[in-house]
Structure 1
């Protein structure tokens, strides 16, 4: 936004939610803006205004063109060749990508996704541990212990719902009642 000279007051509210940018996580834009996009070659050009959703998210990419933008430009992307072709007033315009930069973006995106997923999993584990600490101790029955010959669980355990917000959730995790919060 800063490099384009945009400020928060230039943005319109957005109700879009992005899912799947990072597996299992979603992201809401801080707003949207109508920008004129220009594809240029040495002798001709093609331009169209399109909506961009602005997201406060670390990413290797500056902008992502979705299906609506590609349809508006009548563009045909070819991901394997890193090329995109679109009609211009004097014939086809070919946008050529950089393989090295594409590889760097893919690697940076992978590292970002891994760090975000790890952070989310850590938050979920912390929530489960906090819930386990709040629940009362449920002693394991003698029958349960007798059926497990090779593995003997702790005698004092807690049964914690995996999704406490969902009243119909039937999945539980059993944890030791005397586990350290670490």
Structure 2
């Protein structure tokens, strides 16, 4: 944005939220701006005004063209060949990518996503530790907790063996239950 000479006061408000740029995190733009995008050269070109959402995020990418921009240019991308084709003033315009730059951007983007996820996980962990430190201490003896409010039957109960060969397998039922 700064290299293009666009000032923050030129940005219009945006209600967009990006999900999935970084797994598990969302990102809100600081604004949006319309910029003329030009492909090819002065003799054979294609130019369209495109809305860009501006995000304050470290990224190896300068700009990303989404489906609306590709539709406006009537562009067809081929990700495996790093090529994009679109109609121009005279014939088809072919834009070729660079495999080394693409690999470098993918690696940098992966590192960025990983570092942002780690930072978010640290914040969550800090909140959990803070909440845990504010909780009252639990008694060390489980019998103490029973006295404080554990479940107590309202009527008399009896144990009924579920398996005569395994007496530890039993159920507890109320003695005042109907025989049906």
1:44 aligned to 2:52? no
Counterparts of 1:140 and 1:129, CA distance in 2:
20
Q: Hey, what does 1:66 align to over in structure 2?
A: 66
Q: Which residue of 2 aligns with 1:94?
A: 94
* Aligned match of 1:14: 14
Give the 5 Å matches for 1:134-145. 134-139=134-139, 142=142
What is the TM-score with the length of structure 2 in the denominator? 0.76
Equivalent residue for 2:53?
Answer: 53
Q: Which aligned segments of 4 or more residues in structure 1 are displaced greater than 6 angstroms?
A: none
CA 1:42/1:13 → structure 2, altered by over 3 Å: closer, same or farther?
closer
Instruction: For residue 68 of structure 1, report the CA deviation from its aligned partner.
Output: 0.2
Counterpart position of 2:119 = 119
Say what the alpha-carbon RMSD is for the aligned residues.
1.4
User: Could you tell me how far 1:43 is from its partner in structure 2?
Assistant: 3.8
Q: Secondary structure at the match of 1:85?
A: strand
User: Deviation digits for residues 34-72 of structure 1, max 9, x if unmatched?
Assistant: 110000147400000010000000000000000000000
Output the CA distance in 2 between the equivalents of 1:90 and 1:134.
71
Distance 2:141 2:85 in 1: 68
Partners of 1:85 and 1:8 in 2: how far apart?
33
Mapped partners of 2:118, 2:139: distance in 1: 32
* Other-structure match for 1:78: 78
Report how far residue 131 of structure 1 moved: 0.2
Report SS of the residue matched to 2:106: helix
Say which one has the larger Rg: 2
Secondary structure of 2:122's counterpart equals helix
TM-score (norm 1): 0.75
Query: In structure 2, how many angstroms separate the alpha carbons of the residues matched to 1:44 and 1:139?
Result: 79
Q: Secondary structure at the match of 2:118?
A: helix
The DSSP-based 3-state class of the residue aligned with 2:121 is helix
5+ long unaligned stretches in structure 1: 144-182
| Structure 2 residue ranges without an equivalent (≥5) | 144-180
The alpha-carbon deviation at position 91 of structure 1 amounts to 1.0
Deviation at 1:73, TM superposition (A): 0.3
Partner of 1:150: none
Residues 84, 94 of structure 1: 8 Å contact kept: yes
